Amino acid sequence: MQGSTLAVWEVMLLVRAYKADASAVAKHLEWPRARVQAAVNYAEAFAEEIEQALAENDAAVFETLKRMLPQTIEFAAGSKLRR
């Protein structure tokens, strides 16, 4: 998304999480609703591209990330760090 550090597929992760409620996503991001809708429109127009990016994200596992970024550590809220 122009003027943002987020890619359209990342906005679509939020759209999924908020059950397609663009207003809730806009509030979460502190963006105008029209900007979120622009991401949704792009995702609809280029569905294959966005679905591929989402699938790659869904398939990512910690071990894959660790191979790409060896300094990566796994953590979860309320747990101890695993190295």
Is 75 among the domain residues? no
- 6-32 pLDDT per residue, tens: 999 999 999 999 999 999 999 999 999
Is 18 among the domain residues? yes
Structural domains in the chain (count): 1
Is 73 among the domain residues? no
Q: Which of 5, 19, 15, 83 is nearest to 50 (CA)?
A: 15
Confidence of residue 61 (pLDDT cuts 50, 70, 90): confident
Residue with tokens 């429109």: 41
pLDDT above 70: residue 80 = no
Domain range for 57 = 8-68
Q: Of all residues in the chain, what percent carry a pLDDT higher than 90?
A: 60
Could you give the C-alpha distances from 36 to 47, 54, 70, 78, 82, in angstroms and in order?
A: 16, 17, 34, 32, 36
Confidence of residue 42 (pLDDT cuts 50, 70, 90): very high
Give pTM, 2 decimals: 0.72
